[in-house]
Structure 1
Amino acid sequence: MNGSSPSPPDSINIWRTWALTVTYEAGEYTEQKFKAEKTGGGPVIPSPNLDTDLVMACDRLADVLIKASKNPIQMQMDIARYSKLISPKDTGHNEHKEARLLERCPPGHEGKRLVDEPAIILDASGAIIAWYLPDALTDTTQKEIREATYLLSPSLEKSVRADGNWRTNQRLFNRGSEDVGPTPGCINLSPAWFQQGHENVSNPEVSASLKGPSCENILKAIARPAAIASAALRVMHPEQY
């Protein structure tokens, strides 16, 4: 028996397997717990592949999803009709057009309504427009997200330029007076990026922000938060899961 530590490729393969397994089983557990609590079913036992922090994160998420599903807020607008009245080029800053849209697709209540607890927003047909899930993330998950964000600081800093476009122009980003929090910037993170403007490139590639010596650390840092996000998507929008 070889007692030496795994070679780097073996370590990467083990980590990939762990990440995929945990992502799947976190979604499975959250969905089963959501359905059980919604229908009055029995207790759901989490997989041993999920550690305590991840189980607690899934439990919190499932609880908030349940509360949201029991608090529907219906609007009179038809989201399918509304989507046909707008285009990808709409900025939301044309006051005249926004007023016309509001007139043609009224929200169904007077003035603004404060929503301060989990809820789902429905259109006139009962289709879910949005899930509102305050406090759905545990403190541990929020800490992991912050730590992962700090790993992106070098890439974020490089993305902002004085002559940048509408996404990366320096004047669009400001730091607080105390210079705290994540570095401002705009980057794309994708494991399968379609390169536009390049000839003879037909297959997706990893986006530039995920290339380099720190990419593996970034991917490891976001694995657990990504599993939570995937679990939420499994319940909220199974077709996109």
Structure 2
Amino acid sequence: DIARYSKLITAKDMGHNEQREAKLLERCPPGHEGKKLVDKPATILDASGAIIAWYLLDALSDTTQKEMREATNLLAPSLEKSVKADGNWRTHQKWFKQDSENVGSAPGCINISPAWFQQGHENVSDPEVSASLKGPSSENILKGIARPAAIASVALRVMHPEQYFAGLQAFSKLGHKAVSKELPQMPETLEFWASVFNTLS
């Protein structure tokens, strides 16, 4: 039962404490015997019948994956700048491989959203476009992630309709606020933002 399990765990449960994991396993044992090979689209249910995972093999075509890699490459300068020797728990350099070891995208941690509440500011009533989308490449980045973002939105519409419609509502209100308060860069960013996901939804 995923609801029961979620009440038992805390933010400190990272899977590294063997005794703690053994207790959790005892209180919430697996609902099946052995391993199963799943080679077709499927949903995984908990004991109460709630869907806890969707398995959609080949849902992202090679073309879509290529688009995602290319869009990620556009973020490389921002990703590289985010890693710091004195960074916080998300951006400290010890959590990232060195360039010589990196065989994929540039390592880093950034936030991409048309609306972002600026930490450390006294007035947080008006969100801003996240810093990663304020650069000269922002329009290209948004265009590059448009189709994959739309695919993720379609998946959310099926998997979690309540969150999908809440996202649409947040997006609509954000658009009205961006125009009425003349929030800098936000109308332009919203024009190309293709996902119902953002920090407000």
The TM-score range, normalised by the shorter chain, is: 0.7 to 0.9
For residues 137-158 of structure 1, the C-alpha deviation after alignment (integer angstroms, 9 at most, x for no partner) is 1111111101100000000000
Matched letter for residue 74 of structure 2: L
1:125 aligns with 2:38: no
Query: 2:39, 2:26 → 1: CA distance?
Result: 26
For 2:5, the equivalent position in structure 1 comes to: 82
Matched letter for residue 107 of structure 2: P
Matched letter for residue 212 of structure 1: G
Query: 1:200, 1:131 → 2: CA distance?
Result: 40
Query: 2:24, 2:38 → 1: CA distance?
Result: 22
For 1:199, the equivalent position in structure 2 comes to: 122
How far 1:111 sits from its partner (Å)? 4.8
Q: Where in structure 2 are the equivalents of 1:15-164 lying within 5 Å?
A: 78-164=1-87
Query: 1:224, 1:93 → 2: CA distance?
Result: 37
| Counterpart selection for 1:165 from 88, 92, 103 | 88
Matched letter for residue 117 of structure 1: K
Task: Check 1:175–1:134 CA distance in 2 against 1; reply closer, same or farther (3 A cut).
Answer: farther
Q: How much is the aligned-residue C-alpha RMSD, in angstroms?
A: 1.8
Query: 2:101, 2:16 → 1: CA distance?
Result: 31
Query: 2:125, 2:62 → 1: CA distance?
Result: 42
Matched letter for residue 90 of structure 1: D
For residues 69-120 of structure 1, the C-alpha deviation after alignment (integer angstroms, 9 at most, x for no partner) is xxxxxxxxx1111111112333222222111111101112345544443221
**What percent of counterpart residues are identical?**
82
How far 1:197 sits from its partner (Å)? 2.5
For residues 13-39 of structure 1, the C-alpha deviation after alignment (integer angstroms, 9 at most, x for no partner) is xxxxxxxxxxxxxxxxxxxxxxxxxxx
* Bigger radius of gyration among the two: 1
Matched letter for residue 154 of structure 1: P
For residues 29-66 of structure 1, the C-alpha deviation after alignment (integer angstroms, 9 at most, x for no partner) is xxxxxxxxxxxxxxxxxxxxxxxxxxxxxxxxxxxxxx
Question: What is the SS of the residue equivalent to 2:135?
Answer: coil
Query: 2:83, 2:156 → 1: CA distance?
Result: 31
2:31–2:47: 8 Å Cα contact kept in structure 1?
Answer: no
The number of residue pairs the alignment matches comes to: 164
TM-score by length of 1: 0.63
2:31–2:46: 8 Å Cα contact kept in structure 1?
Answer: no
Matched letter for residue 159 of structure 1: S
For 2:112, the equivalent position in structure 1 comes to: 189
For residues 155-200 of structure 1, the C-alpha deviation after alignment (integer angstroms, 9 at most, x for no partner) is 0000111121221111211157575321011111111112232102
Question: What is the SS of the residue equivalent to 1:239?
Answer: helix
For 2:145, the equivalent position in structure 1 comes to: 222
- Structure 1 portions without partners, runs of 5+: 1-77
For 1:237, the equivalent position in structure 2 comes to: 160
Question: What is the SS of the residue equivalent to 1:96?
Answer: helix
> Which structure has more RCO (C-alpha within 8 Å, separation ≥ 6)?
1
Could you list the structure 1 runs, at least 4 aligned residues long, displaced by more than 4 angstroms after superposition.
111-114, 175-179
